[in-house]
Homo-oligomer: A and B are copies of this chain.
Amino acid sequence: MSTLQEEKLENKNIKPTAMRLLVLQCLMEQNRALSLNEIEVLFENADKSTIFRTLKTFQENYLVHRINDGSGAIKYALCDDDCICSLKDNHIHFLCTKCEKTYCLKDTPIATPTLPNGFKANFANYLIEGICSTCT
C-alpha cells in the first residue's frame, strides 16, 4: 500500500525520503508554481539547501520544471506524468503582479513562431504578467 506521492516518486525513479514526500505533497496541494522560499516558509523547520537539492533531484527526473518568471526567484511546478521537459512540453506561465503567484497555463499551448533564417529553437519560456482571476 503506497500513497499517491510515493507512487509519483517511484514512477520517476526517485527514492521516496520523508523530505521528498513532503515537498511533493506541498507542490500537489498548492495548484501553482512555488519558489524555494515559499516552500521553505510552509515547512518552517526544514533546511533551505535540502529543499533546494530535493527540487534539483525532482527537476533532473522530470517531476518538476523550473520557471523563470522575472520575479527574482525561480519557481517550481509539477510536470505532467508524461513530461520530459522538451520543447513540446512547454506551456505559458502567468505571473499575477498583484498576488505574485505564478500559474502554469497548461491548456494554453505556445504557438512556436517562425524564426529568422539560421535560428533554431530548443526551448521556449513564454511568460505573461497581469492580473489573475482571483485578484480581478
Contacts and interface: CB of A to CB of B under 8 A. Distances in A.
Contacts of A120: 130-131, 136
Given A68-B68, A70-B68, A121 B113 contact: no
A132 to B, nearest CB: 6
Given A122-B131, A130-B121, A111 B108 contact: no
Interface in A7-57: none
Copies in the complex: 2
A34 to B, nearest CB: 18
A131 B120 CA distance: 5
Q: Which of A119, A129, A136 lies at the interface centre, i.e. has the most chain B CB atoms within 10 A of its CB?
A: A119
Interface of A: 68, 70, 92, 94, 97, 105, 107-111, 113-134, 136
